[in-house]
Amino acid sequence: MSRSVTSVHPKEKAVSVIKFSARALKIFSGQLAIEASYTITTKTRVGIKLESSTITPDQLMNIFQKNYDMLLAIFNPEGWLEITYVDESLRIGRDDKANIFVLEKTDPSQV
């Protein structure tokens, strides 16, 4: 399973994509995309609110429909994110769920 923020929009929105697959069962390849909005609450903290989510392909949504709320509870971005360290190459943050994020800036031409 991999997780990435695919885009940050200037209108204070971000999209997080969780890609997953079970290699033995090709039908279980897909992704959960979560769109969230954020508001700046302090100089180092943002509040995050879930806006929408989708599972693709549609066949996976049919499989996960009964447990969709539980799936969203696991990956739900609602809460806050606080930046605790920033320099030219790193950004370290933590959230209200005790997760720590270490983000490294990359050269876009190498991606």
Q: Which domain holds residue 9?
A: 2-80
User: Does the residue 21 lie in any domain?
Assistant: yes
User: Does the residue 46 lie in any domain?
Assistant: yes
E-strand ranges in 1-111 read 2-9, 13-22, 25-40, 45-56, 79-86, 90-95, 100-104
Q: What's the pLDDT tens digit per position in 11-46?
A: 577 777 777 776 655 656 788 888 889 899 999 999
User: Does the residue 75 lie in any domain?
Assistant: yes
User: Does the residue 100 lie in any domain?
Assistant: no
Domain count along the chain: 1
Amino acid at 110: Q
**Rounded mean pLDDT, 41-59:** 88
Q: What's the pLDDT tens digit per position in 37-48?
A: 989 999 999 999
User: Does the residue 85 lie in any domain?
Assistant: no
Using DSSP, state whether 31 is helix, strand or coil: strand
User: Does the residue 103 lie in any domain?
Assistant: no
